[in-house]
Structure 1
Amino acid sequence: MIRRKELYKEATSLTVSHDIRVRFSEVDSLGIVWHGHYITYFEEGREAFGRQHGLAYLDVFANNCTTPIVKTTIEHKLSLRYGDVVRIETTILDTPAAKMIFRFTLFNDKNEIVCTGETLQVFLDKEGDLLLTNPPFYQEWKRKVGLEK
């Protein structure tokens, strides 16, 4: 039996690396990043990916779609602290389904993995209805970046 996750293939040529510095507002009284901010770091990675590969939120919106996140997974490995520089690597996973899956790996300045995770986004039309097939603009984007022939 093929497990569902095995159907996705990582598109390693479509990976974006983006650095940020941990801000004071993201840490607790011990100077450690609060766990909820890692989701914001994922968002930063997705935005950097979109800008670099022509799949920004405004590009999606211009095509009368939105892509809400319906699932997030996260695994914390090490702590980040105020002032740390974090490298966010964001990779899109290729799937034939009408959704986008992004994988994230966060590294500290020692190149240690701090956190890993994924987000799953679906496509909604301008009325907010779920699209069961990839919208034409996304199919064209996949062709343009080499995920589809």
Structure 2
Amino acid sequence: MNKEITHSSEIRVRFAECDPLGIVWHGNYIQFFEDGREAFGRHHGISYLHQKANNFSTPIVSSKCEHRLPLRYGDVATIKATYIDSPAAKMIFKYEILNPEGNVVCTGETVQVFVELEGNLSLILPDFFRQWKIKMGLLNV
């Protein structure tokens, strides 16, 4: 049984993220996913800085984004980032972005792999990530 861990954060849509009609340009939703993923990492102790301190980076190898409704300049949106547990050496996140009324604006998913800072792909769970999964109740000791 896969366990999911979620964290919600908010962003305010900036003028620079919008097209001339004041609607968020579609490519910025991937950045919003990253904002949610970074907030998740800081909240749950698995931030990019933590990964780097353990000699790893986690590049994205797959991303998916589905648009339903627009966000507009000045909107405060909620980003729900959900970590989807996997036995493989990768991080899977699903996202929901909600508008101020609570309607789903966009959904998506990203997959990240573990790469040592020297450039080697890790096919097994890095120790720091294994320890994080134990702490989060995703692995039994």
- TM-score per shorter chain, which class? over 0.9
Q: Which residue of 1 aligns with 2:135?
A: 144
Work out whether 1:48 is the aligned partner of 2:19.
no
TM-score relative to the length of structure 1? 0.92
Aligned partner (choices 13, 21, 24) of residue 12 of structure 2: 21
2:18 and 2:73 in contact (8 A); partners too = yes
The alignment's C-alpha RMSD in Å is 1.0
Runs of 4+, deviation exceeding 3 Å: none
1:69 and 1:121 in contact (8 A); partners too = yes
Give distance in 1, aligned partners of 2:96 and 2:3. Answer: 13
Give distance in 1, aligned partners of 2:2 and 2:77. Answer: 26
2:17 and 2:25 in contact (8 A); partners too = yes
Give distance in 1, aligned partners of 2:116 and 2:71. Answer: 38
Q: Which residue of 2 aligns with 1:124?
A: 115
Give distance in 2, aligned partners of 1:68 and 1:96. Answer: 18
Aligned partner (choices 22, 39, 47) of residue 30 of structure 2: 39
Q: Among the aligned pairs, what percent are the same residue?
A: 56
Work out whether 1:72 is the aligned partner of 2:59.
no
Q: How many angstroms does 1:50 deviate by?
A: 0.5
TM-score relative to the length of structure 2? 0.97
State the number of aligned residues.
140
Change (3 A) 1:27 1:97: same
Task: Give the alignment of 1:80-99 within 5 angstroms.
Answer: 80-99=71-90
